[in-house]
Amino acid sequence: MPRQTRQRAAIQRALITADRPLTIDEILASTRKIVPTIGIATAYRNIRRLVDEGWLTAVDIPGGPARYEITGKDHHHHFVCLVCDRVFEVPSCPSDLEKMSPAGFSLDHHEVVLYGKCADCR
Amino acid sequence: MPRQTRQRAAIQRALITADRPLTIDEILASTRKIVPTIGIATAYRNIRRLVDEGWLTAVDIPGGPARYEITGKDHHHHFVCLVCDRVFEVPSCPSDLEKMSPAGFSLDHHEVVLYGKCADCR
DNA sequence: CTGTTAATGATAATGATTTATCATTGTCAT
DNA sequence: ATGACAATGATAAATCATTATCATTAACAG
């Protein structure tokens, strides 16, 4: 049966407190403040498991490595800071997306990614 | 000095006639109808050069390989068919993106990707 | 406390995409 | 036409992210 480990607890804590999608490297950096010896394989293993269990959702931002956020958040989009590369959540959503689909196409879902500078980097 | 080759001409023709972003594989498949012996290295070499020269622009669609489209088109977005994986151009753009940026953030540019079924696949 | 065995950590291996190498071919200025 | 050398094609090698391996560590049921 599964066991509770300090490493997995630290990974989950990192993702809960960040409140934004984190890369593997960000997860590792954050987690090492609590468990300094954690290896990269353990990060990948736990993330994969948390995704399989449905606790995490992968976020694909073009031009960067995979990021992960906690499953079940309200519909939202993402803002990429071009300076610090951090990705933030954006709670709103464009209102007129349905009209954008070409005639004869059926729209399933959509992604909006904003690029710019975050408040810290301006 | 640079020389004109059948291979490069065929690659450019493929991208001009497609009128949508193409992957390396799509470019190769299309080009081989004109120059059947073209190798993958030549495709990569020419695409890199065309990007460096500014003739091509890379289009990054999350969860897929890089695609390339001719530089200088009017502002547009993309529609990904979930069945055939082709990416199409969408000429319109959401009107209220500026309001989406979090307070204190500055917006540079944005990407909108629609997912669904194209007219052929419905 | 102790034994079982799941999980870890270090590192090798993998897979997928892109780039480098190099002998050969083809372009084009002369 | 022909020589210089840019470009090609086949394939090896480099990247980069992710997964597998395996000896060691540690969680937890009894």
Label residue A64 by pLDDT band (50, 70, 90): confident
Residue B93: name the closest of B73, B115, B112, B74 by CA: B112
> What gap in Å lies between CA B38 and CA B34, rounded to an integer?
9
- Say which CATH topology domain B6-70 has: Arc Repressor Mutant, subunit A (1.10.10)
Give the residue-averaged pLDDT of A6-28.
97
Please write the tens of the pLDDT for every residue from A105-121.
999 999 999 999 999 99
Tell me the C-alpha distance between B114 and A111, whole Å.
7
| Cβ <8 Å between B96 and A100 | no
Query: In Å, what is the separation between the CA of B14 and the C1' of C30?
Result: 34
Looking at residue A35, what is its pLDDT?
96
- β-pair partners for B22: B68
In this complex, the residue of A60, A81, A105 whose CB is nearest that of residue B62 is A60
Span B7-23, average pLDDT: 96
Q: What distance in Å separates the CA atoms of residue B18 and residue B60, rounded to the nearest whole number?
A: 17
* Residue B62 pLDDT level (bands cut at 50, 70, 90): confident
Residue A44 sits at the chain B interface (C-beta within 8 Å): no
Distances (CA, A) of A81 to A24, A29, A92, A101, A107: 18, 19, 17, 28, 28
Q: Which residues of A touch B119 (CB under 8 A)?
A: 102-105
Burial of B36 (0-12, 13-18, 19+ CB in 10 A): exposed
B98 part of contact set with chain A, CB < 8 Å? no
pLDDT of residue A62: 81
Q: Do you know the residue count of chain B?
A: 122
Identify the three-state secondary structure at position A35.
coil
Where do the domains of chain A lie? 6-70, 77-116
Average pLDDT across chain A, whole number:
95
